[in-house]
Structure 1
Amino acid sequence: MDASILQKVALFEGLTQSQLLRVAAIARPRGYEAGACLFREGEAGRDMFIILEGKVRISQQVPGMGEEALAILEKGQYFGEMSVIEDIPRSADAYAHTSCTLWVIEREQLDHLMFTDKDLAYVLLWSFVRTLSVRLRETNEKMKTFLALSRF
């Protein structure tokens, strides 16, 4: 895999060229047609994804309302990283919003890589923390808006 792509992914900022090459070596390309389901909420997860081409929709099913899109992700963004941090079910659905090509990184391979390269693990874990912090802030803002609108 071409490690230069990873340089443009926020999760991997701070990694050396050698570390980027090691991450690229465990990534596997996978293509999806528009509308394909990548995973569903509640499923066991063991992979994270990086978007090389196309768009991916992250959503949840809202009872009585149907699908609620949470985000449309584009080239260079990543998702599913919670599954490589913790062994918990997926928290949302992911669909190919357009036909897309993704890099898939399996938890076991990333675990092994982080175990053998502590400097890489340090950078990645802090990146994960920042990502989760940003997403928590965004969720809090959405909740504030929802609560404000529900009072009317």
Structure 2
Amino acid sequence: MDAAVLKKVALFEGLTQGQLAKVARIAQSRTHTAGDFIFREGDTGQDMFILADGKVRISKSVPGIGEEALAILEPGQYFGEMAVIEDSPRSADAIAHSSCTVWVIERAKLDQLMFTDKDLAYVLLWTFVRTLSERLRETNEKIKGFFAISRF
């Protein structure tokens, strides 16, 4: 993966050129055709993904309703990062919405990189915290909206 491409990914914006090059060395490319599951809710995750091209749909299967799309991701966005932070199962499905290429970063390789470069670890972990906080806030807003709708 090209370090210049990584610089455009929000997760890596605070990294130096040298740090970006280190991350690029541990990323592996994988392609998917439309409809492929990149991962499924409940799977054990050991990887995070950066969308290089195409689109990826993050969704949950809702009993009695079917698939509920949570987000359609565009190139430059990342997903599955919770698997590199915790050991919990995947919380949603990631499906190739169109043919796509993703860059895969394995948890073990990222752990090793963060262990050897504490400045890189600091930047990434704070970005993870901000991302998770933002997603929690969005979820809270959706829940408030659902409660408001259900009162009518």
Paired with 1:86 and 1:116, the residues of 2 have a C-alpha distance of 20
Question: Which position in structure 2 is the counterpart of 1:89?
Answer: 89
- Find out whether 1:58 has 2:73 as its counterpart: no
Paired with 1:138 and 1:71, the residues of 2 have a C-alpha distance of 12
Task: State the aligned residue count.
Answer: 152
Question: Which position in structure 2 is the counterpart of 1:100?
Answer: 100
Offset at 1:13? 1.2
TM-score normalised to structure 2 length:
0.99
Give identity over the alignment, percent: 74
Query: What SS does the aligned partner of 2:35 have?
Result: coil
Give ranges in structure 2 of 5+ residues lacking alignment.
none
User: What is the identity, as a one-letter code, of the residue corresponding to 1:127?
Assistant: T
Question: What are the within-5 Å matches in structure 2 for residues 1-150 of structure 1?
Answer: 1-150=1-150
Paired with 1:16 and 1:35, the residues of 2 have a C-alpha distance of 36
Offset at 1:47? 0.3
* Cα displacement string for residues 93-112 of structure 1 (whole angstroms, at most 9, x for unaligned residues): 01000000000000000000
* Cα displacement string for residues 99-148 of structure 1 (whole angstroms, at most 9, x for unaligned residues): 00000000000000000000000000000001001100110110010110
Paired with 2:90 and 2:96, the residues of 1 have a C-alpha distance of 16
TM-score normalised to structure 1 length:
0.99
Paired with 1:8 and 1:76, the residues of 2 have a C-alpha distance of 7
Offset at 1:62? 0.4
Paired with 1:37 and 1:96, the residues of 2 have a C-alpha distance of 6
Offset at 1:19? 0.1
Paired with 1:144 and 1:16, the residues of 2 have a C-alpha distance of 40
Paired with 1:21 and 1:3, the residues of 2 have a C-alpha distance of 5
Indicate the RMSD between aligned Cα atoms, in angstroms.
0.4
User: What is the identity, as a one-letter code, of the residue corresponding to 1:122?
Assistant: Y
Give ranges in structure 1 of 5+ residues lacking alignment.
none
